[in-house]
Amino acid sequence: MDPDAARTARESLDLAFHMSNLLDTGLDRHTLSVLIALCDLGLNPEALAALVKELRREPQHSSSPPTYAAPSSLP
């Protein structure tokens, strides 16, 4: 990417991130960058917004692995 294009992309992301903060979306810069890239690839922005909302509603899973009960022994 040439320097001018990189500067323009960075400025665009800065502006989008500032707007995101003003709208109190809670998106970090990296997440916003990924969402913008997905839109650039042709994904539907409304569908992405719905996905983000759905993922935020999901309960957060603990980082510890699940525990399993040992199977009962058969007589």
Average confidence (pLDDT) over 14-24: 96
48 close to 31: Cβ distance less than 8 angstroms: no
Six token digits for residue 62 = 């603990």
The whole-number pLDDT of residue 59 equals 75
pTM as predicted: 0.70
Where do runs of H (alpha helix) occur along 23-65?
29-40, 45-57
Average pLDDT score over the chain: 86
Q: What is the Cα–Cα distance from 50 to 56, expressed in whole angstroms?
A: 10
Q: What is the pLDDT of residues 22-57, one digit of tens each?
A: 999 999 999 999 999 999 999 999 999 999 999 999
Please state the domain extents for the chain: 3-57
